[in-house]
Amino acid sequence: MTARLLDPAFSYRDQDLHAEDVKIADVAQAVGTPFYLYSTASMARQYRRLHDSLSGLDALICYAIKANSNQAVIATMKELGAGADVVSQGELLRALAAGVPASRIVFAGVGKRPEEMRLGLEKGILQFNVESWPELDALEQEAQALGLIAPVALRINPDVDAKTHAKITTGTAENKFGVTIAQAREIAAAIKGRKHLRLEALAMHIGSQLVDMTPYNSAFERMAALARELQADGHALRRLDVGGGLGIDYGKGQGPADDQVEVYAEMVRRHFADFKLPLVLEPGRYMIGNAGLMVSQVVYIKKGENKQFAILDSAMNDLIRPTLYDAHHSLVPLRQEDARKAQAYDLVGPVCETGDTFAQSAELVGLEAGDLVAFQSAGAYSAVMASTYNSRRLVPEVLVKGASWAQVRARQSFEELIAQDKLPSWL
Ligand code: LLP
């Protein structure tokens, strides 16, 4: 019994798991385990499906690089036609380094520091998504110092529950994100009198991993109403930013409907087409989540009193989502062994915490020490959330395209890991 493959870029050929035309076991042989692997075809398919569903609208898909900020991934998205959504100086520099033009970069986030804003202003990015009064003031100061006009997108908090995991819900009044509709009116009015600020857009983002599209409907409605109101007050809006959040299928629980993207795009069209303004989208997970695997090896099968543990060579430091969000990442073998019987395993890593558990009592095809396996849906929020806890090194990333593959990040060396520390003069 092998779990369902969640992306058409992955398939078994002669019982060996392939990513496009690459046999993944060959990659494992060459780079060792663990490693992350991403499919270009999957990213391209996701991009095109979203892009095509928005046809006729002037929409810029700004890939949220927080989901996966490898240079090769950002460059792939750029080639497909995407801009970038960044939330820090580091991400801004990464997007620019990968060749994304500043004019296609939006800068989001609640805590942008003045020096981060300065960099964005100097580079001439498309917009700053402003989330509070003090942030607006800080942006004005930086723009004034540079003699520039800062392009402002006001991020509104529509107070709509996205019905997703509490840790990734961002659009309710309880969350730290955005400004209320009432505050937005006041801020918009204030911007009129400030010559180094220009209100260009409204923005929103209500949460991540949405599989029910109805919260978007309520949020879009509120943002559209405010946009109309601001236009009537003489604000010449130049674009509207509808954020990200589209969910993906993790192979368990409620997944998105097959036509989720089209349903979403239809909502965008219904609420915003009449404005005849360019639109910005900020999808992250949807673009790359199911394009990625994390490939690992079984180190030991350990039989406990009541349980059987498959101890892998990857751990919570490599894929933190199961322990942080109780997320499900389904495991598939790199080789289908039909003769083996299904068994229940707790899938765990070597880190010294009980939280280092990927899954409990997972029904899987029989595993043996030395087997190569892959966690699915590891393209988004996996490598980017990795740490070196337990002095485990950051692991390689591999990009596949057709029959080609390339290592796009090397395995960190122990020397690099230790060289980050410095001894003080007295030791
Ligand atoms: N725009 C803004 C302002 C955001 O805060 C986010 C994600 C996105 C766009 C992209 O959202 P997406 O399309 O990927 O859902 N680490 C968590 C997810 C955190 C999402 C944070 N913000 C996870 O692993 O589930």
Question: Which tens digits make up the pLDDT trace of 287-323?
Answer: 999 999 999 999 999 998 989 999 999 999 999 999 9
| Ligand 1 atom with minimal separation from the 381 CA | 24
pLDDT value, residue 263 = 98
Atom of ligand 1 nearest to the CA of 155: 3
Mutate to test the pocket of ligand 1, among 60, 61, 66, 154 (most ligand atoms within 8 A of CB): 66
CB within 8 Å of 299: residues ≥ 6 apart: 311, 312, 313, 350, 369
Is the residue at 209 inside a domain? yes
Least Cα distance to 255 among 293, 210, 322 occurs for 210
Q: For residue 109, which atom of ligand 1 is closest to its CA?
A: 3
- On whether residue 91 sits in a domain, the answer given is no
- Domain-embedded: residue 95: no
Q: Is 354 contained in some domain?
A: yes
Parallel, antiparallel, or unpaired for β 342-348 and 308-312? parallel
Q: Is residue 192 located within the same domain as residue 259? A: yes
270 and 127 fall within a common domain: yes
* Domain with 381 in it: 10-39+290-419
Q: Which of 352, 418, 419, 427 is the catalytic position?
A: 352
334 & 272 share domain? no
Residue 426 lies in a domain: no
Are residues 263 and 332 part of one domain?
A: no
In a domain, 46, yes or no: no
Where a domain ends, among 283, 315, 330?
283
Q: At what angle do helices 71-80 and 89-97 cross, to 10 degrees?
A: 60
Give how many domains the chain has, as a whole number. 2
In angstroms, what is the span from residue 305 Cα to ligand 1's centroid? Answer: 40
CATH of the domain at 298: 2.40.37.10
Measured from the CA of 210, which atom of ligand 1 is nearest?
15
**Whether residue 253 sits in one domain with residue 177:** yes
Q: Are residues 200 and 161 in the same domain?
A: yes
Q: Mutation test of ligand 1: which of 208, 261, 287 has the most ligand atoms closer than 8 Å to its C-beta?
A: 208
Between CA 281 and CA 261 the distance in angstroms is 13
Rg for the chain (alpha carbons), in Å?
23
Nearest to 382 by CA among 21, 6, 34, 41: 34
CA dist., res. 242 & res. 315, Å (int): 35
Which residues, given as ranges, of the chain have pLDDT below 50?
Answer: none
State in Å: Cα 207 to ligand 1 middle: 7
> Same structural domain for residues 329 and 387?
yes
> Residues with beta carbon inside 6 Å of ligand 1?
64, 66-67, 85, 108, 168, 170, 205, 208-209, 243-246, 282-286, 321, 325, 381
- Regarding whether 392 and 314 lie in a shared domain, the answer is yes
Does residue 304 sit in the same domain as residue 411?
Answer: yes
Question: Residue 246: which CATH number?
Answer: 3.20.20.10
Per-residue confidence (pLDDT) for residue 1, from 0 to 100: 54
Expressed in angstroms and rounded, the spacing between residue 206 Cα and the centre of ligand 1 is: 9
**pLDDT score of 134:** 96
Ordered DSSP codes for 261-309: HHHHHHHHHHHHGGG---EEE--SHHHHGGGEEEEEEEEEEEE-SS-EE
In a domain, 47, yes or no: no
Among 227, 257, 283, residue at a domain's last position = 283
Q: Give the pLDDT of residue 171.
A: 80
**Alpha carbons 73 and 96: distance in angstroms, whole number:** 13
* pTM across the whole model: 0.97
74 falls within a domain: no
Closest CA to 331 of 297, 285, 287: 297
Residues 164, 309: one domain?
no
Q: Is 62 a catalytic residue?
A: no
Whether 278 and 360 map to the same domain: the answer is no
Residues 309 and 231 in one domain: no
Q: Provide the pairing of β-strand 59-64 with 10-13.
A: unpaired
Q: From ligand 1's centre to the CA of 220, what distance in Å?
A: 18
Q: What is the reported pLDDT for 168?
A: 77
CA–centroid distance, residue 229 to ligand 1 (Å):
28
**Residue where a domain terminates, one of 231, 249, 283:** 283
